Amino acid sequence: MNFDLDPETEEMRDAIASFARHKLGAPAEFDPEEFRQRWLLAGKQGVVGTAIPEEYGGLGQSAVTAAALMEALGYGCRDTGFTFSVAAHLFACLMPVVEFGTEEQKRRWLPALCSGERIAAHGITEPEAGSDALGLRTRAVRDGDHYVLNGDKCFTTNSPVADVFVMQAVTRPGGGFFGLTSFLVEADTPGLTVGPPYSKVGLRGSPMADVHLEDVRVPADQVLGSEGAGASVFTSSMKWERTCLFAGFLGVMRRVTESTVDYAKERRQFGSPIGGFQAVSHRIVDMTLRLESARLMLYKAAAGLDDGSQDEIAPALAKLAVSEAAVQLGLDAVQVRGALGILDGEAETLVRDALPSRIFSGTNDIQKNNIARAMGLARR
């Protein structure tokens, strides 16, 4: 049992953190053109394709290394929304293509998605189907050598800038786990329209919108996996997302913890640095405890991915641990800073960006349900 990263991964991690700090800023307002410029820069560094095999344009790294680089991106980039978008693109969209795509699909789609030339989005959530992933209403009907898709998606990360969608639809109503099918859909396909970007409380640098599908004709060779394999595609993508995506929040938490320590050493009250007061120092120790505990759980889950583990509990526990730790760590960072904590700055930004982490990738309540079911505690 070795808790240290290998020297090559540490070197890559440090390089990505430095690159993100100096090249990936946090603009005051979202601008699609500026977003794509940063995306291309990240693509040239290999960040948007870390876990994709080299023959398809990626870096060919393990899940543990991919998590380490995502943590570095979160540490160096102050736009957590951008980090989130990169992770959603990589783990929820590209990894399913690697695991379920045909050789032709991999060679057609992955190189440009790894280089940063193209951006992917995963269309799963609907107005009537969020936590209930098997309750989708978007339909796909076979018509010769095409499928015709109709329906609506919401809360779709990257949709305002996406070039391609991994779209989930029902091909067999009432078919349960085997009733869903995944499709690779070009963003400019007639009938596919994207609504205006949402205004969100957090992750403002990650564009998100509704997607409307009206008689969207998709060639049959753009089915990902096979007809009826959509739930398997989704489940696999969530294992990656619930583990490696959340590594970005570890990086943000580490950065905010370090700056909080520095602040507590410099800020003086009653003639002494506030870090000398037990109420403050213990709060910072608790921040460190949450960060390190969550980090261990996440890397354990990432190691399981590399080992081919079918464990459903570790990714769910990692998601729970990181998201809850991020929210509380942000609140503690605000409290240590006092009035400055509620002004524009990284502490209050962490709170806003961390709150959605308890919702996306399956709410934390759903994660507890999944864990309980895996433990044999499911309700009959």
SS3 187: coil
Going by their DSSP bridges, the two strands 120-123 and 268-269 should be labelled as unpaired
Burial class (CB in 10 A: 0-12, 13-18, 19+), 139: middle
Reported as half-sphere exposure (CB side, CA atoms, 13 A), residue 101 has a value of: 22
Residues acting as catalytic residues: 241
Q: HEC profile for 210-248? A: EEEEEEEEEEHHHEECCCCCHHHHHHHHHHHHHHHHCHH
Residue at token pair 């950065």: 255
Residue at token pair 């009432």: 174
Which helix H or strand E contains 185, and what residues bound it?
strand 180-186
What gap in Å lies between CA 105 and CA 364, rounded to an integer? Answer: 34
Which of 51, 48, 57 is CA-nearest to residue 9?
51
Contacts of 332 (CB under 8 A, 6+ apart): 260, 283, 284, 286, 287
- Helices 63-76 and 278-306: crossing angle, nearest 10°? 150
